[in-house]
């Protein structure tokens, strides 16, 4: 099976980043892969040795990298909700408006700040909810208490959930690995 993205983990199995298959080959070649998982396999061929044999490296869709201080620092940081992170927010909320509870296509969704930015609200996972255009416009810069109650609560995705939300074309092996570590409150479990 062919795949282009590999789920790179730390030695303990916590997601670090999505890497290209070519980056994975480099890690394997440098002996930086502690262990790997997955039924899918991809073989990369290299040059010929003096005996006329072609080198090859077999990679799998999930690999654990042998330690790195930079990796540990990176993993300790919270996953931020960026100004361009609407796709992740909408995925977290399953394209469901936090006010009316209806499911919409992405083109009909907006990011709503529960405490409006004009009132000092932060651009964080805990202060943002998916809202349909109609509800967001009706709420304007009012507080939730002055509009209507939320039908779901915001939460900060854990690393496993974030990797599912941010991954495109995730292989079954990769999804199964990540989904096994989802918290009970995750909307991706339902």
Which tens digits make up the pLDDT trace of 17-59? 899 999 999 999 999 999 999 999 999 988 888 888 888 999 9
DSSP string, 80-94: ---TTTHHHHHHHTT
pLDDT digits 0-9 by tens, 118-141: 999 999 999 999 999 999 999 999
Query: What pTM does this model have?
Result: 0.72
C-alpha–C-alpha distance, residues 175 and 169, integer Å: 10
Which of 146, 148, 151 lies closest to 130 in space, CA to CA?
151
Question: What is the per-residue pLDDT for 69?
Answer: 44
Q: Which of 68, 56, 57 is nearest to 8 (CA)?
A: 68
- Domain ranges across the chain: 5-77, 86-146
CA distance 125 to 84: 13
What pLDDT, on the 0 to 100 scale, is given for residue 106? 93
Residue 132: predicted pLDDT: 97
Q: What would the two tokens of residue 105 be?
A: 């296509």
pLDDT over 50 (residue 153): yes
Residue 80: pLDDT over 80: no
Residues 6+ apart with CB under 8 A from 38: 60, 61, 62, 171, 173, 174
- Determine how many CB atoms are found less than 10 A away from the CB of residue 156: 14
For 86-146, which CATH class?
mainly alpha
Q: Which residue has the higher pLDDT, 46 or 178?
A: 178
Q: Is 116 helix (H, G, I), strand (E, B) or coil?
A: coil
Average pLDDT over residues 138-151: 93
DSSP 135-180: HHHHHTT--GGGS---SS------HHHHHHHH-SS--HHHHHHHHT
Q: Name the nearest CA neighbour of 84 among 170, 178, 186, 166.
A: 166
Q: How far lies 34's CA from each of 27, 39, 167, 181, in Å?
A: 10, 17, 23, 20
Residue 60 is given by DSSP the state -
């Amino acid at each position: 099976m062919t795949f282009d993205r590999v789920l790179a983990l730390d030695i303990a199995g916590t997601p670090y980043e999505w890497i290209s298959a070519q980056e994975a080959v480099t890690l394997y070649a440098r002996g930086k892969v502690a262990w790997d998982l997955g039924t899918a396999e991809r073989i990369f061929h290299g040059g010929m040795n003096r005996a006329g044999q072609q080198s090859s490296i077999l990679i799998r869709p999930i690999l654990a990298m042998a330690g790195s201080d930079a990796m540990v620092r990176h993993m300790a940081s919270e996953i931020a909700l960026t100004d361009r992170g609407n796709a992740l927010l909408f995925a977290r909320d399953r394209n469901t408006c936090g006010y009316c509870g209806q499911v919409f296509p992405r083109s009909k969704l907006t990011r709503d700040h529960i405490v409006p930015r004009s009132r000092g609200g932060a651009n964080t996972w805990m202060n943002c909810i998916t809202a349909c255009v109609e509800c967001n416009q009706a709420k304007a810069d009012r507080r939730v208490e002055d509009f209507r109650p939320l039908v779901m609560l915001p939460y900060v995705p854990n690393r496993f959930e974030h990797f599912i939300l941010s991954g495109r074309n995730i292989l079954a092996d990769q999804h199964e690995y990540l989904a096994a570590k989802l918290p009970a409150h995750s909307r991706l479990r339902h």
